[in-house]
Amino acid sequence: MSVPVSQMWTVATYVLGQRLRGNTRYPLVLMLEPLFRCNLACAGCGKIQYPGHVLRKHLSVEQCLAAVEECGAPMVSIPGGEPLMYPEIGRLVKELVARRKYVYLCTNAILLKEKLEAGLFTPSKYLSFSVHMDGLKQEHDEAVCRDGVFDQAVEGMKEALRRGFRVTTNTTLFDNASPIRMQMFFDEMMDLGVEGMMLSPGYSYSKAPDQEHFLRRQKTNELFSKMLENPKKRWKFNQSPLFLQFLMGKQDFECTPWGNPTYNLFGWQRPCYLLQEGYAPTFKELMETTRWEEYGRRSGNDKCQDCMVHCGHEPTAVNHTFTSWKGFRDTVAATVTGRL
Amino acid sequence: MSEEKSLEGWTPEISDAATLAEVVDRAFDYRGDVTVVLQDGRELIGYLFNRNRDVAEPFVQMFEREGSGPSSIPYARIRAIRFTGKDTAAGNSYAAWLRGKEAAKAASSPPGA
């Protein structure tokens, strides 16, 4: 696994601190969406289908920082929309780094080289560009519905790496993924020099244009088992090994929907990053008034039955690591041996 | 794309068959602008992004098309909701992209290939 020690330490002390205070529900990663606008329209994305006047709006930096302070999570992920289209992305990232938040700027990297050349960002252990890469060139360009995006992303990643930035990848997998092709993709990303890769099965957004290729639970287990059965030592994953084991069917985790709370133009999204069942005006109200018992697989909620997405299950895996001996032992074993 | 029919153009009458709460829920789920007709006859056009029935005075929230908002409107002030804006989630863009790609491939293939 490739998460830097300082980041692991920050997360570990944060989780243990929450437990010592008796908090059972706390956020781990704030999903901060400053805008919905994007320069792509990917087949599996249900995030950007809004009228033009909504797409033209964005949060102010002050609104973003207030949400970060209110939430208190040690990590901030900035998806969207395409965050590099956010006019104040440079200032926002600078402010977050100054607050010692670990920032994952989730980008398709089409604009990355241009923004780096414009001097918008400074390398920091707190900042990682998390580049959306859904596989090798053919698969990625198909997933994002535009030819040439893979090459643009690689160019942006190379430039970021050359300038000393942390670069990771985030990959969403659908049921047409080939385990062998994905293993070739892992090799290619490692050859590029990325710090680590993040994987997740896609979620069947009701608003996504392509509804046919979302993974069901058993297929997810089969795909990830084939892909990761004998992982090469050189493959580095920037995520919890227990979460990867969960995707392979070796762990059974329930969803932690409050683990990655989402803040955007509409407020604090209930109950999670994927489902939009309403908005709360404050984080406190989100935590106190959302009927959490109605979500997760065991609740029986249809929308949660096939979901194995990172935003709900990786927080469970992380909590398991830092709050149980078995979780800690399994994590250490996977980290040391590289076996999942 | 989901087989569900788009609500674009729907102008429901608020009645026992389609209660205000049900129509509000459909408007909340709709990815296009709606026209909210108030009890005093005024009409607000915009994107309805939230509703809350778990409070003493249930309300909806919307960003108006001309740029203002978010504004909150109590259910009690709403006479009707019309689904007047384009449904941005409708249309088969993935299939359209695949069709376009196939057409481009066919066009670039040598004759008889």
pLDDT along chain A (340 residues), means of 10: 85 93 95 95 83 96 98 95 97 98 97 97 98 95 92 98 98 90 97 96 72 78 94 93 95 96 97 94 97 95 92 94 92 88
Predicted pLDDT of residue A263 = 98
d(CA A137, CA A181): 10
H or E segment and range at residue A103: strand A102-107
Of B31, B46, B93, the CB nearest to A41: B93
CA-closest candidate to residue A200, choices A299, A106, A328: A106
3.40.140.10, 3.20.20.70, 3.40.50.1820, 3.40.220.10: which CATH number matches A5-337?
Answer: 3.20.20.70
Predicted pLDDT of residue B1 = 39
Contact B86 A57 (CB under 8 A): no
Q: Do A109 and A128 touch, CB atoms closer than 8 A?
A: no
Distances in whole angstroms, Cα of residue A273 to Cα of each of A33, A153, A308, A313, B84: 10, 24, 13, 12, 28
Query: What's the DSSP call for residue A336?
Result: H
pLDDT tens for residues A76-88?
Answer: 999 989 999 999 9
Predicted pLDDT of residue A118 = 97
d(CA B62, nearest CA chain A) in Å:
9
Complete edge-to-edge strand list for the sheet that includes strand A262-264: A196-201, A166-173, A127-132, A102-107, A75-78, A29-32, A262-264, A267-271, A276-280
Predicted pLDDT of residue B18 = 85
- Cβ contacts below 8 Å, chain A against chain B, sum to 62
In a domain, B75, yes or no: yes
Domain boundaries, chain A: 5-337
- Work out the pLDDT band at B3, boundaries 50, 70, 90: very low
Contact B54 A54 (CB under 8 A): no
In this structure, the number of other CB atoms found within 10 A of the CB of residue A253 comes to: 22
CB proximity list for A216: less than 8 A, separation 6 or greater: A175, A306
Contact B31 A53 (CB under 8 A): no
Contact A211 B2 (CB under 8 A): yes
Q: Does A40 touch chain B if contact means CB atoms closer than 8 Å?
A: no
Q: Do A257 and A22 touch, CB atoms closer than 8 A?
A: no
In a domain, B48, yes or no: yes
Give the ipTM.
0.88
Of B65, B89, B97, the CB nearest to A145: B97
DSSP string covering B9-59: T--PPPSSSS-HHHHHHHHHH-SS-EEEEETTS-EEEEEEEEEE-SSSS-E
Looking up residue B53, the CATH number of its domain turns out to be 2.30.30.100
Which residues on neighbouring strands pair with residue B50, listed in sequence order? B61
d(CA A73, CA A283): 11
Predicted pLDDT of residue A339 = 86
Predicted pLDDT of residue A80 = 81
d(CA A160, nearest CA chain B) in Å:
31
| pTM score, whole prediction | 0.91
d(CA A132, CA A171): 6
Predicted pLDDT of residue A327 = 93
- Work out the pLDDT band at B100, boundaries 50, 70, 90: low
| Tally of domains within chain B | 1
Total residues belonging to chain A: 340
List residues of chain B with CB under 8 Å from any CB of chain A: 1-2, 28, 31-33, 46-47, 49-52, 54, 61, 63, 65-67, 70, 85-86, 88-89, 91-95, 97, 101
Contact A57 B63 (CB under 8 A): yes
3-state secondary structure of B82: strand
3-state secondary structure of A63: helix
Range of the domain at B102: 20-108
**Structure-block tokens of residue A237:** 């994953």
Q: What percent of chain B has pLDDT over 70?
A: 79
**Following CA atoms A304, A11, A242, A262 in sequence, which dihedral angle do they give, to the nearest 10 degrees?**
20
d(CA A272, nearest CA chain B) in Å:
15
d(CA A135, CA A182): 6
